[in-house]
Amino acid sequence: MTLTAWAEDEGYSLAVKNGSLLIENLEPITLSDARERNNHFILRWRNRTCRLCGTNFDISLGGFGYTCPDCQKMEAPQ
């Protein structure tokens, strides 16, 4: 199933942000919840919860995977 078809079936809209097609979710999603919903699209959710600190963030504004921008800075090699 394509992302477009899945999102439509689940009642989500999609938007292009910074060149990426993202699921427009109002409630932030955790990595484990994203895996449960559809393992193929875990990196397509726009609003996420950081796996390290629990902060909610918009991936189109920064961060990596399920790590918020602040925690990403701490994890990056200097």
Q: What is the pLDDT of residues 10-57, one digit of tens each?
A: 999 999 998 899 999 999 999 999 999 999 999 999 999 999 999 999
With a pLDDT cut of 90, the percent of the chain lying above it is 88
Residue 71 belongs to domain spanning: 3-75
Residue type at position 4:
T
Band of residue 70 on the pLDDT scale cut at 50, 70, 90: very high
The alpha helices in 1-78, defined as continuous H runs, are: 3-10, 31-37, 69-75
Domain tally, the chain: 1
